[in-house]
Amino acid sequence: MPRLVGCAALEYMIGANSAFMLYYGMTHGAAKLVEAFGTEDQKKRYMKKMFAGEWGGTMLLTEPEAGSDVGALTASAVKNPDGTYSIKGSKIFISAGEHDLCENIIHPVLARIEGAPAGTRGISLFLVPKYHVKDDGSLGEFNHVVCTGLEHKMGIHGNATASLSLGEKGDCIGTLLGEENKGMPEMFRMMNEARAFVGMQGFAVASAPICMPWNTPGPGSREDISWPEKMPRPKM
């Protein structure tokens, strides 16, 4: 769908339920990351089901000691002989981080490969599915992405903002997305989309009080032909 038409549709859906639409927003952003930086195998394995909304997506940056200062993160990635990585660490505040609305969740995760430089220069991006995906596209074993709690927030209770533990009680396997140590600039592709999405959220929530009476039959609705006269007009 063209972006412009998509935004018009999003205005209605986010206006109706911004918390629920975060599940869509996170999934779309994560799928765009796979589209931009994924290998042919990663695209084939994950992308279509994410764009179709069959699987969810997230972004895993924040840790208890690494919020604004992402470069301080301690999640680690150790390369395995088959080219995959064993991921270990704790992430917090993860929007749409754990739920059973769909059968799998694909997590883009920031972690540091053993021996990589300190700070943001040494961060890489990995794709970590909640359940392994077999070559034929079917689901395999649990990948040890464990939800350790849900954040208590003042709002957006309709979205599960989760704390996640990776690889604490069993092997959590990820594949490198993009290039080693280029995780930050790559992740910014999704974060920039997330920023635009936040703007869209503000606009949609603000226009909801106008859209609702417009679409609800009765006085003030689009069927009420005297409606334009009832509109408050700015004084010139």
Ligand X SMILES: Cc1cc2nc3c(=O)[nH]c(=O)nc-3n(C[C@H](O)[C@H](O)[C@H](O)COP(=O)(O)OP(=O)(O)OC[C@H]3O[C@@H](n4cnc5c(N)ncnc54)[C@H](O)[C@@H]3O)c2cc1C
Q: In the numeric block, which tokens belong to residue 234?
A: 């700015």
CB of residue 43 to ligand X, shortest distance in Å: 23
Q: Are strands 105-113 and 76-79 parallel, antiparallel or unpaired?
A: parallel
Q: Roughly what angle, to the nearest 10 degrees, separates helices 183-215 and 18-37?
A: 140
113 binds ligand X (CB under 6 A): no
**Cα distance between the two ends of the chain:** 40
190 binding ligand X? (CB under 6 A): no
* The one segment of 93-101, 112-120, 205-213, 222-230 that binds ligand X by CB under 6 A: 93-101
Paired tokens of 16 = 């109706």
Q: Of 19, 31, 33, 60, which lies in the binding site for ligand X, with binding defined by CB under 6 A?
A: 60
According to the binding rule CB under 6 A, does residue 166 interact with ligand X? no
Does the protein bind ligand X through residue 157 (CB under 6 A)?
no
By the rule CB under 6 A, 62 interacts with ligand X: yes
Q: Does 67 bind ligand X (CB under 6 A)?
A: yes
Contact, 133 vs 140, CB < 8 A? yes
The nearest distance, CB 136 to ligand X, in angstroms, is 30
Give CA torsion, residues 21, 25, 26, 30, to 10 deg.
Answer: 150
Of residues 72 and 212, the one with the C-beta less far from ligand X: 72
Angle (CA) 56 174 89, round 5°: 90
Q: Which residue of 40, 68, 218, 230 would you call a contact of ligand X, by CB under 6 A?
A: 68
Least Å from the CB of residue 82 to ligand X: 28
Site size for ligand X, by CB under 6 A? 12
Nearest approach in angstroms of CB 234 to ligand X is 36
Cβ nearer to ligand X, comparing 18 with 42: 18
161 binds ligand X (CB under 6 A): yes
- The reply to whether 227 sits near ligand X by the rule CB under 6 A is no
Tell me how far apart the alpha carbons of residues 144 and 198 are, in angstroms, rounded to a whole number.
Answer: 30
Task: Examine residue 93 and tell whether it contacts ligand X (CB under 6 A).
Answer: yes
Binding site residues, ligand X, CB under 6 A: 58-62, 67-68, 93-95, 153, 161
